[in-house]
Structure formats: C-alpha cells, structure tokens
Chain A
Amino acid sequence: MAQVRETIELLTHILNENGCSKLKAEIFRLAKFDKDEAALVLWKMLFELLYYSKYGVIDEVTIRAFSELTTEELVVYVKQEFQNLGFLSKEFSHLPNDASSGSRELLLAFAWLLCKQNFVDKFMDNCSSPIEDSSLLNELERNKPASEGRSLALSTSLSPVQKVQQLQLLNGKLRSKLRRLYSLQREKAKLQHRVNECTQGASLTPDMPHLFSLEVHLLRHPQLMSKIMTLLEKDNVRLRHMQEWRDQEQVFWKWMESVLELKVKESPRNEETPMMYYNIGPDPVSRMNEARRKLEEAILRYEAIIEQIEEMWETKRSEVSAEELDGLLDLLNMELSLQRSNLAMGSSDFFMLRDPTFVLNKKDKKKTNLPKHSERLPTALGPGDDMGMPAEISTEIAALESQMRLLETEVARKTQCYTFDLERLSVRVPGALLVQPASCV
C-alpha cells in the first residue's frame, strides 16, 4: 500500500504543477472512507479542473471566481458541469449543497473526470517547449499598466441625429483601426518571412529549414537565454513527473477500484430511480404528470371531433347544390356570349383596320411617285393604277380568306368544347334535362 501513497502524491504534484491548488495525499485516503473534512477541498479541486478543461488554463480568474462564489454556487456549478459532461450519478447529484459531506462520491467523480478528460495528456500538450510560443517574447518586454477605462458612452443630451453622427464617427474610427491592424499584420508577415529567409539553412527543429523569430531574438539577446533555460528546466520536471505517472497509473486505478467496492458494499444500489437528477422538488413533478395526463385526455377527446368535422367536409365537397349549378350555367352562358361578341368584334375590327391601309397605300404610292417623274405622270399613272390594284386586292383577298378559315376552325373548336362541357354537367345533375343553345346545333 505504500506504493499507492507514492502514486497519489505524484498525482497531487502534477496537479499542483499545472495550476491546481495544493493538495495532500491524505485527503484521498480520507475521501476513501467518506470522511467529511475532505469534501470542501475536493469540491475546489473539481472546480479548478472543470475550469481547466473549459479554458485550458488555471489563472487568477479561477482563484478569484473561487473566492467570490459562495459554496452553494460552487457546488451547483460543479454538479451542473458534470451533468453536461455526461456524469449522471444520482448519488453525486444528491450531495448536500453546503459541501459538508460526501467526499467518497467526489473522489469517484474526480477519477471519472481524470480518466474521461485525459488531463495528463492535456497538461503535457500545454507545457511543451516555450520556444514555440512567441507570445512569450512580448510578455518579457511588457510592463504596461492596464489601460484606463475610456468613456465613450453616448451622452443623453444629444438629439437622435447627433447620436447617429456620433455612432458614425465611432464606426469610422473602428474601421481605420482595422485597416491599421491589417497593415501591421502584413508587415509582420513580411518581416517574419525575411527572418525565415535569412536564416535558411540554420535550423534547430528537424522539419523546419530555418530559425523561428524567437530563436533569432534569443541569438540577438543572449541574456534572455537563461530565462528560457529556467522555463525549459521547469517544463522538464513537469514532463518527467507525468512520465512517472504514466508508469504508476495502474496502481492508482486499482486503488480507485477498491474505493468503488467499498461504496458498493456499504450501500447497495437502488435500480429503480431514474439516472438523471433534476434539481426540482417532488411537488412540481406530480403536478407536471397531472398536467400531462389532462393534456392527453383532451387530445383524445378532440380527436374524435376532428374526425367528424373532416368527414363532414368530405361529404360537403362531393355534393353539388342546385344553386351552385345555376351559377355555373350562368357563368357558362356569359362566357359563350362574350366569346361570340368577341368573334364578331374581331372580324369587324379586322375589316376596319385593313380597309384604310389599303387606300392609304395607294395614295402613298402616288405621292412618292409624283415629284420624281412629274413629266411622265399621265403615262405612268394609267398602267400603274391598272396593274397595281388587282395585285393588291388579290393578296388582300387571299389573306382575308385564310383569316376566315382560321376563325371558322376556331369557332368549331370552341362550340365543340362548350357543348361537351354542358353535357358533362347535365349528367352530374340528377333531374336535369339538357337543351343545347340554338347556335350550337
């Protein structure tokens, strides 16, 4: 069992190195036997780990959040996050919100989180080589106080127009800033390219044929080397710890199994209760069930009515009443007379239109001829009149005849169509007798 203690100590070390607050291995032992004094510490650790898995870092925000939240808020938050991650343990959810007890459940939850979220892998990813992290460069040189809060709030005394003007102004400023940012980014790319180009051939990383700008920076400022060295040393220690953990992990998980067994032994699991824990009292649940039952009943009741209505609708739709029929017939008659008058109008239009053009044509011809051949007018006019007229008229007649044929076929087609319609309708009306209009016979 001594080995278990060592392993757990290693784990607390790793957690501490990666930003969690300090933890004693003793806490784990206490938690195994569900001692209450371990509970609060474990809650805190779970909170920190959740924060880490969410934001990738444990910083002063975490610490501040921890001190500002009340214990209850903290506990509820952690429970909720666990549920979101998929840890649906009823016992865990039922732990008291004042963090007074339940350390064994917490320990189990911790083990689950550690295993599911691959924290050790994440820690490893995070701490590899400060060389690749060029933000470090800026950190080394920055000692700027937090920028003062600037008041850009719209003053209330302005008219709407002025407010719009002000907003436009602020918008303009923002756009200029973005443009400057863009040009700076281009400059950065250009300069970085030049650094890479100039260091072509000298390389520390296998798959890069050139130096990073940080490496060049370090070459330029050797005093920064020692800083980087300490950082690297620190990383090395952390990585070594994690490597050791990888070797000894088995022991810890075995021990966790024993914790689980202990739990099972002490309290046999109740299978009936639902897995999901809702943070609501029993009263609303019963009321909700009641409401649901009522809703179902109502739906059933209305379903029958709806069916009835649908049936009625169907029957109504298939029947045709006498009034409707009268209306339809009227409509048809109107349509027919309309068409007929249309046809008549069309034909008269046709003649009225063509006649004058015919005359007009003739006149035009004369006029244009007049000035040109004025001396030959008497001779040119005679034959022109005699020859031109018959030719014109015959083509016109031909055109008219073709038009007439067209109209006739149209009339025939329409008549057929309407008689057919009428017949069809008369069949549908039971006691009706069809008398075809005279024009159709």
Chain B
Amino acid sequence: MSIITVQLGQCGNQIGGQLFHTFMEDVHSKPLATQVAPDKNEDYKDEVLSRFFYRGESREEMPRARAVMVDMEPKVIAQTYQEAKRSGTWCYSEKQHYCQQRGSGNNWAHGFCIHGPACQSTVMELIRREAEKCDNLGGFLSLMSLAGGTGSGVGAYVTRCLRDEFPHAFIMNQVVWPYKMGEVIVQNYNAVLTLSRLYHNVDAIIVMENDHLHKICQQLLSIKKISFKDINKVICHKLATMLQPCPLSKYTGDTCSNSIGEMLEHLVPHPDYKLLTVKNIPQMSAAAQEFSTYQWHGLLKHLRQMLISDAPMEEGIDWQVRVNSQGSHHNTSLANLLLLRGKESSSADTAPFSDSALYAPWIPPDAALMTGVQPRAFNHYEKSASLISNSQSPVTLMDSMVGKAWDMFSSRAYVHQYAKHGLTEDEFLDGFATLEQVIANYKHL
C-alpha cells in the first residue's frame, strides 16, 4: 500500500518535508534502539519505504517521496527541496511541484476561485503521475493549514478535484488549526470555508491545534523560543505514530496492516463524523528520554484520562472527570484506534479503552476500539502509545471559531474582499450551515 502526500501552501509544504524527515529518522534509528531482530527491522523499513517513497530500479538510488507540492510562492518549495536533498537519505522527485510567483494574500477566495482553477490541470497531472507509480494506491494525505489563503483555498479546491479524479480513493486531510489569538484577521472565515468544503469531499480530517502544539513544545519539550519548525516536528511525530507500519488486530488472531483504508474504515464509518484527533504519550525532549522508563499500565492510564477529559497532553490532565460519575461530562467517542509501539507492547491491557461508556450508545461493541501492536520501537521511544480518536474533542474549538466568524460576518466585515474574487454570501452561509450541523452532530453523541 502506498500513500501519496499532497503538500499545499506554505504550512503544508513545511510539514510535508518534516514528515518525510521524521519517517526517515525513524527508519534509520540505531539498530539497538529498534528493539527487534534485524530482519524484522528490515521488513519495517521496506514497508515504510514502499508506503511513502518510491524507489527506482536500482537500490542505490535515493528514495523519492511520493509527494506533490503545491504553493503559490516558490520560496518554501525551494527550501523544502533543499532540506530534503541535504538530508542525504531521501529526496523529492524533480518537477513534482507546482508554484506561482504571487501568493493568495491570506484570502481564501483568491486561492479557491482564482489560483485553484488556474492550477487544476497541472496539479492533477502531477498527482496522476504519482498515482500511476503505485501498485496499490492506499490513499491520499493532504497537508494544509486553515488560516492562510493558499493552503486553505487552493487546498480545498485541489481536494475537490482529487475526489472527482479518484472517487474511490481514501482521502485524509491534516489541517493545522490557527492560534486562537490569530495571526491573520480573517482566519476564522478561511477556516469555516475550508472545513465546510473539506467535510463534503474527504473521508477524514485530522485536526492539529496550534495552541495545543505550542503548549506541548513549551511544557513537554521545554523549548524556550518556539519556532514553527518545532511545532511542525510535533505534528509530524503525531502523524508518524499513526502512519508508520503497525499491524492491527482485526479479529482475534487475525492481523492486517494499518493501511489508510483500514484505519479510516474503523475510525470514520459514519458520514456525519469525520474529525480525528491524535493523542500520543509519552512525548519529551531527546535529552530526557535517556532517563525515563515507563510501564504500559501507567502510560495507558494517562492516555485514557487524556481521552475522557480531552487533554491535549499528559501534563495538566483533569483527573476529576470520570466516565461513570453522574453529572460530569466526559469526552464521548465514536471510534478509537489505539496503536502501541515498543517493548512488550503485546502484553499491554487495552480493555479500559473498549469500555462501552466511552462511546455513543449506538456504537456496536466491535466497532468501538481497534488496537495495533508493533514491537519495534518508534523514534527512539522505548514504549509509546498513540490514540487516534473520532470524538467530541475538536468541537468546542470549532464552535468558538464558527461563532467568531459569524460575528464578523453579521456585520459583513471583509466580505467584500471575498466577493471581489467571486465568492458569494450564499457560499459563506452554506459553510456556516455545514459546520453548525457538524457541531450539533458531535454534541449529540
């Protein structure tokens, strides 16, 4: 199975570069740190390489990322190219990118209505070319931010084209949620418009919140001056814990690979619920790793509390939230995927996650939790667990974002900037309606 990554806009391209870097770092970790036999490690490596990279006929050739880069400014793409080449372990294919000279100026309509249609044929050709190289096209992973103009506007447009071109493929979108105190004044507009479009076209949307990521950098990784690069690293760590090979136990005694289709089939079976969050534990700076040991029991206990109290990280969890106590409300899920990696991972007890009280009452018991166990350690962590969850967790944030955008829209602030590029007020209203429906659905879980 192979996954094609579509990197959209500045944010998407930076994350994309970092993501492949993370994959390669994990693959090339020291043999001792992998905790498995060399042949097992080799299998793992092969699977990663065939999943995200494309290798030419000769094995000496550097693996090329299965990726298409799209941006309206050449700067970031050039930079990402350079960084990949400098790593010496992988590179991007030549000419697998599309860029223009002028950005979208944080205007979603400019990206969606002007740049999108202009780049459609070229970008789709690039994607088709990439798809033809895959024996088994597992799906697409689109990376973009919600706030900007290119990533969100062009991204939403390209995603729609992707759905038209590959009606049966699995499309998963990773979106970066802007800071609450935003960088861009119209970020809420952009986010509403993007999310509502994506909701119609893709199978799953992985939400990464800048505020949470910032906190993780600050408190867990103890970084003083946090740059976007640090945040991107955290994002990629999370994504990689989900996407790196990890056999899933589907029925007792039967395993299958964690192909994107398999995971999405479990996580987003219902067309109304498509928002995913990734929680992982432990996360720490490389320096601290050497001095830490963990037990599976403790890790999973924390992770479970993170899930029910909707905490973004292992510090500052609200332990008051209980599943069975009356009155207090816990984070209800639709489906969860628990991936355990590292030493003795098969011995961990995952039963607390399949408690039916965690899930909406109409979820059949066997559709609630799926677990995957990978004895190979991930990215130097002796033991690590990640939980991909389709739950109510992103909804509060979405609610406040829609509220803010609506406040602005009710006084028609900046709307003329969007109308200038041909986006009508009706389309705004459609976006609001779609997201209101999503929020209502999740709230009623």
**Which A positions have Cβ atoms within 8 angstroms of B?**
144-145, 147-148, 150-152, 158, 162-163, 165-166, 168-170, 172-173, 176-177, 179-180, 182-184, 186-187, 190-191
Contact = CB atoms under 8 A, between A and B. Distances in A.
A290 to B, nearest CB: 59
B265 A183 contact: no
A184 B364 CA distance: 27
A158 B269 contact: no
A169 B364 CA distance: 9
B170 A186 contact: no
Contacts of B136: 183-184, 186-187, 190
A183 B138 contact: yes
Contacts of A172: 268-271
B374 to A, nearest CB: 21
Contact of B270 (A147, A169, A179): A169
Contact of B262 (A145, A165, A180): A180
Contacts of B271: 168, 172
A166 B269 contact: no
Contact of A168 (B261, B270, B364): B270
B364 A152 contact: yes
B191 to A, nearest CB: 25
B135 A191 contact: yes
Top-8 shortest CB links A-B:
A176-B265, A162-B362, A187-B136, A172-B269, A166-B362, A180-B261, A173-B269, A169-B270
A176 B261 contact: yes
Query: Interface SS of chain A: helix, strand, loop or mixed?
Result: helix
Contacts of A147: 251, 254
Contacts of A152: 364, 366
A183 B170 CA distance: 10
B168 interface: yes
Nearest to A176: B265
Given A151-B364, A169-B270, A180-B259, 10 more contacts: A151-B365, A158-B361, A168-B271, A169-B367, A172-B268, A172-B270, A176-B269, A180-B261, A180-B265, A187-B135
22 contacts: A150-B366, A151-B364, A162-B362, A166-B363, A166-B364, A168-B272, A169-B363, A169-B367, A172-B268, A172-B269, A176-B170, A176-B203, A176-B261, A176-B264, A177-B265, A180-B261, A180-B262, A180-B265, A182-B168, A184-B136, A186-B136, A187-B136
B62 interface: no
A148 B264 CA distance: 23
Contact of B362 (A150, A169, A176): A169
B221 interface: no
A145 B268 CA distance: 29
A304 B203 CA distance: 73
A190 B135 contact: yes
Counting chain B residues whose Cβ lies within 8 A of the other chain, the interface size class is 20 to 34
A190 B253 CA distance: 30
Contacts of B272: 168
Contacts of A150: 251, 366
Contacts of A170: 269, 364
B24 interface: no
Given A183-B168, A184-B136, A186-B136, A163 B265 contact: no
B270 A148 contact: no
A180 B258 CA distance: 13
B137 interface: yes
A173 B135 contact: no
Contacts of B364: 151-152, 166, 169-170
A165 B135 contact: no
B169 interface: yes
B252 interface: yes
Contacts of A163: 362
A269 to B, nearest CB: 63
A269 B366 CA distance: 67
Nearest to B366: A150
A162 B270 CA distance: 12
A170 to B, nearest CB: 7
Nearest to A153: B364
A7 to B, nearest CB: 52
Contacts of A180: 259, 261-262, 265
A165 B363 CA distance: 9
A184 B169 CA distance: 11
Interface string B124-146: 00000000000111100000000
